[in-house]
Structure 1
Amino acid sequence: MSISGKKQNKTIYICQQCAYKSLKWLGRCPECGEWETLIEEVVAPKGGGQIVPGKPVALHLAPDGDEERMTTDIEELDRVLGGGIVPGSVVLIGGEPGIGKSTLILHLLESIARKDRKVLYVSGEESARQIKMRANRLGVIHPGEFLATENGVEQIIAMATEMRPALLAVDSIQTLSSADVASSPGSVTQVRESAYRLVGFAKKENIPVILVGHVTKDGAIAGPKVLEHMVDTVLYFEGDRSHVFRILRTVKNRFGSTNEIGVFEMKEEGLVQVSNPSEIFLAERPLNEPGSVVLPSVEGTRPILVEVQALVSPTNLGTARRTAIGADQQRLSLLCAVLEKKAGLDMYGNDVFLNIAGGIRIDEPALDLGVICALASSLLEKNIPSNTVVCGEVGLAGEVRAVGQIDVRVREAQRLGFSRIILPNSNKERLNWKPTIELVGISNMHQLMDIVFK
């Protein structure tokens, strides 16, 4: 009996969340714990061949990376990218459906086309007519913009190689497929292979590529986690569709800071960048109202003043509720416990609701003192003066700890006309310049209660 030497394709099961591979179907993925995520895929055998070793080069002889970035007229986007788009880089933009990813791409392409450069927009989700309708509504049509509706990654690369645009945008990575992979579009194997091909194209041709990615129900970009490792920059488009503000946040950036944000406002004409978000977020702030306080937050190198709102009311349930919007709910519970233990306030028998106005999310420790003041103000029905801002980290012992970048926080509060800032005493002592705003340093919760709620 002769045995055929032809290699056969084999079937494996791959988790669509974490790319875990199994030879048999499992109801629950052993790696990420998700249910019903293992999908059957056909994997073709890899052909053999002679391996030709590469030749390393001395680091000082390697090509210099001093090429100029490709800047746009969208300053908020350039900010999160670290100063512009690096030639040959791959940028992944993720966000919920309807948040404005495709709108941002159209604005970006039009801004580059206005500089006498050709750009290519490839869509695997919409028809050319649909995209033209949106572009007409936004007023972002330019002769230098080219459009294609294609799902095959090989065809896209061939098209871009022949055209050589200044920028290639693909919407979205989940709709692409490679002829060399037997699984359906959107599967882990297809997403990984398509991204690998596009990254290789960007590096070889020195053409930057923008990829749009869908997100899962828990807010992560759909597809394998390796997708975020393959690209150079990962941006998340955040915001509630019921709010007009959108936050573009950097999660990963090989060519710049990972803490910068860009602020946009959604209007009829599309996304409009907000150059001074502090004034926008504080525009509708109620004055001298209990439960409201202003916090000088810092995102990357950018100071933003936001309003922290709290509502404390007696509970009608056996267990008091703790609800936070725009802040960490676990941190809220911790600060309620500190108020109960160190300030003697009855937080256990009250429902607590916290909100960062404007739809922005604040995760830094400097938020603690603002939350403490807002909670105490609402519970005691005593307002905090509208000319006062507060910032500082609060520990479990009731101590108020120093926060970073205090200089930019104080300067922003002073610029917007506030006359007093309550801050950690250690930050006050380290300040090496004398501002016109009054500095009130505190070290613990008792000092805070005495100063703010006499």
Structure 2
Amino acid sequence: MARAKLQYVCRECGAVSPKWSGQCGDCGAWNSMEELQPSAAAQGPRSGGYAGEAARITRLGDLPAADIPRISTGISELDRSLGGGLVTGSVVLIGGDPGIGKSTLLLQVLALLPAEQTLYVTGEESAQQVSLRGHRLGLDVSGLRLLTETQVENVIATAERERPLVLVVDSIQTLYTAALQSAPGSVSQVRESAASLVRLAKQRGITVILVGHVTKDGQIAGPRVLEHMVDTVLYFEGDPGGRYRMLRAVKNRFGAVNELGVFAMQEDGLKPVANPSAIFLSRHSRPVSGSVVMVTREGTRPLLVEVQALVAESHAPQPRRVTLGLEQNRLIMLLAVLSRHGAIALFDQDVFINVVGGVRVSETAADLPMLVAALSSLRDRPLGLDLVCFGEIGLSGEVRPVPNGEERLSEAAKHGLTRAIIPAGNRIRKRIDGMEILPVEHLSDALDLL
């Protein structure tokens, strides 16, 4: 019998190579090639469909157009991130930094659901440690069904016998399958263990929640294909030492992407924040320079955040451009637009931009607030506590409209803001009581208003 040849797989992108190299030839990652055992390389995809029956063609017109039934977790912000709750037979992957609250949140969810409908599989902690956490949080975990196991075949056998409605696995990197010889946490073990649990969820209609470790770059550890296999991917954001946590949906087959749930870490666990806009606004006692309120949109809801800027004289050959919560390259581009179309050059100034509260804003509606805050800091001119602005800025200096402008203005009016600088394309027909709307078409128009 010919000896099986070893193969090497990249833990970042899953590319397979016949020999080891220091850098992956596909994704360019360094020191990411791991040995793939011959048994794993020779093992092909398992036969059979999810339903365990012969494949047949289905016409979409024959399927009923009914809403997807969901299971409420009992935590409003988690339901929002999931798109309305857990979907039967779906697989959810939750990632985040160590100590940010992944296990705490899931233990709270299981304590709120009927005990006979849940099963908690832990491969990192003992039963005593889980019990101590539950009592420390003040949860009623006396009826919680707990399984301390790391072999995926035993986990599936127990789930087949107990038939829980919700299965939590903490974490996927600790599981291994006896069919492979590699160590738990390797690319092949994580991929095969996750595939087995996905098959279990689809066959038996069990909702599976997986906890995933993250790398130093903030990505889910293991092969990138892991995020493609599951239905929903949630990431915890925020400082583990801070008070607030943000749970963002970066993938959701049953809801809106980029939906954001906000929690406050307290002694008795993570508590949902009913009004997130209030925690992201400083509410200064008097107007200060370099601060402006903008309305961003996270998923399906508008959110008020405060953008702060500090512009100071630079004594270095290359002025610094630093952003926290925003894209740095976009700030560099906007400062060039300000110099070209606003006749305000900051080539000899350090510019620091920060979004209060640690929230990350990725949409282009933050363009106008960034320049407005930077100009306020440069001139040391406060803008007032009642001003809100949003808008995208093009390379020719035009202020472009952003989606859902009317909803953004309504949210700002609810929090007592009375003046709004918005793109002319977001001009609304009906009047909002108590708010003065100032539409602008070009960056120069906004500078004139300021």
TM range (shorter): over 0.9
Are 2:11 and 2:224, in contact at CA under 8 Å, matched by a contact in 1?
A: no
Task: Measure, in 2, the Cα distance between the counterparts of 1:211 and 1:228.
Answer: 11
Alignment match of 1:438 (pick from 436, 439, 445) = 436
- Displacement, 1:189? 0.6
Task: Measure, in 1, the Cα distance between the counterparts of 2:208 and 2:127.
Answer: 20
Q: 1:412-427 residue pairs with structure 2 within 5 A?
A: 412-427=411-426
Q: Which residue of 1 aligns with 2:26?
A: 31
Instruction: Name the CA shift for 1:416/1:336 in 2 (closer, same or farther; >3 Å).
Output: same
- Displacement, 1:118? 2.8
Task: Measure, in 2, the Cα distance between the counterparts of 1:194 and 1:8.
Answer: 26
Task: Measure, in 2, the Cα distance between the counterparts of 1:333 and 1:421.
Answer: 25
Instruction: Name the CA shift for 1:292/1:397 in 2 (closer, same or farther; >3 Å).
Output: same
Task: Measure, in 1, the Cα distance between the counterparts of 2:153 and 2:335.
Answer: 56
Q: Which residue of 1 aligns with 2:88?
A: 87
Residue 145 of structure 1 aligns to a residue whose secondary structure is coil
Q: Which residue of 2 aligns with 1:17?
A: 12
- Displacement, 1:321? 0.3
Residue 366 of structure 1 aligns to a residue whose secondary structure is helix
% identity of equivalent residues: 48
Task: Measure, in 2, the Cα distance between the counterparts of 1:37 and 1:398.
Answer: 44
Q: Which residue of 1 aligns with 2:172?
A: 173
TM-score if structure 2 supplies the norm length? 0.94
Task: Measure, in 1, the Cα distance between the counterparts of 2:386 and 2:346.
Answer: 27
Instruction: Name the CA shift for 1:255/1:135 in 2 (closer, same or farther; >3 Å).
Output: same
Are 2:322 and 2:328, in contact at CA under 8 Å, matched by a contact in 1?
A: yes
Residue 302 of structure 2 aligns to a residue whose secondary structure is strand
Q: 1:248-397 residue pairs with structure 2 within 5 A?
A: 248-285=247-284, 287-397=286-396
The one-letter amino acid of 2:363's match is: E
Q: Which residue of 1 aligns with 2:448?
A: 450
The one-letter amino acid of 2:37's match is: V
Instruction: Name the CA shift for 1:111/1:9 in 2 (closer, same or farther; >3 Å).
Output: farther
Task: Measure, in 2, the Cα distance between the counterparts of 1:150 and 1:433.
Answer: 60
The one-letter amino acid of 1:76's match is: E
Deviates more, 1:61-70 or 1:48-57: 48-57
TM-score if structure 1 supplies the norm length? 0.93
Task: Measure, in 2, the Cα distance between the counterparts of 1:230 and 1:146.
Answer: 27
Q: Which residue of 2 aligns with 1:96?
A: 97
User: What do residues 66-117 of structure 1 show as CA deviations (whole Å, max 9, x unaligned)?
Assistant: 552101221111111111101010001111112111111111111213xx64
User: What do residues 309-348 of structure 1 show as CA deviations (whole Å, max 9, x unaligned)?
Assistant: 0000001110000000010011111111122222222311
Give the RMSD, CA atoms, in angstroms. 2.0
Are 1:285 and 1:307, in contact at CA under 8 Å, matched by a contact in 2?
A: no
Instruction: Name the CA shift for 1:284/1:10 in 2 (closer, same or farther; >3 Å).
Output: farther
- Displacement, 1:297? 1.1
Q: Which residue of 1 aligns with 2:128?
A: 129
Are 1:11 and 1:42, in contact at CA under 8 Å, matched by a contact in 2?
A: yes
Q: Which residue of 1 aligns with 2:181?
A: 182
Task: Measure, in 1, the Cα distance between the counterparts of 2:164 and 2:143.
Answer: 9
User: Which consecutive residues of structure 1, in runs of 5 or more, have no partner in the other structure?
Assistant: none
The one-letter amino acid of 1:418's match is: L
Instruction: Name the CA shift for 1:309/1:50 in 2 (closer, same or farther; >3 Å).
Output: closer
The one-letter amino acid of 2:145's match is: F
- Displacement, 1:308? 0.3
Are 1:321 and 1:351, in contact at CA under 8 Å, matched by a contact in 2?
A: yes
The one-letter amino acid of 1:22's match is: S
User: Which consecutive residues of structure 2, in runs of 5 or more, have no partner in the other structure?
Assistant: none
